[in-house]
Structure 1
Amino acid sequence: MTAGASGAGDVYDLKGLKCPLPVLRTRKRLEQLPTGASLWIETTDPLAVIDIPHFCNEYGHTLEADERIDGGHRFLIRKGNAP
């Protein structure tokens, strides 16, 4: 995880965590950011390709990117108005 809090380059490293921890930790991290902030999430959990888009849809966030990385996935989430 990088030191910054809201830049498009920030990466929250959730590799090695299994469902539901990636979504739970993503939700908690986004709660700390201002509306409109962007955060990259990296995870090795195979269910994240289902869970992260669903989470974004349910909580009003925008999934701006979904990429395969070595051993997992990377998502760019823009925080919506939801708390």
Structure 2
Amino acid sequence: MENAETFKTLLTSGENIPEKLVPVLNFVLMNASALLVVAGIAKDYVEGANLARESVTSGKAWRALEIFRDAGKRAAEAL
């Protein structure tokens, strides 16, 4: 539960990410950046990290996670 709460706090804090979560943010940005480069969305890791940071701080990443979660719940209910 602690990891889930940490992740939720990170993705819902906007620009006001708590100082204690900055290392977690950096880890998330590093991994997301690599994914964005591999997917061809970012031209390099710097652009990928910038795109990822914008997604986290704007709330887009949290909204995407909620959509994914809700789709999973609907799929499970349909079984």
- TM normalised by structure 1 equals 0.27
Q: Which has the larger radius of gyration?
A: 2
Which has the larger strand fraction?
1
- TM normalised by structure 2 equals 0.28
Which has the larger helix fraction?
2
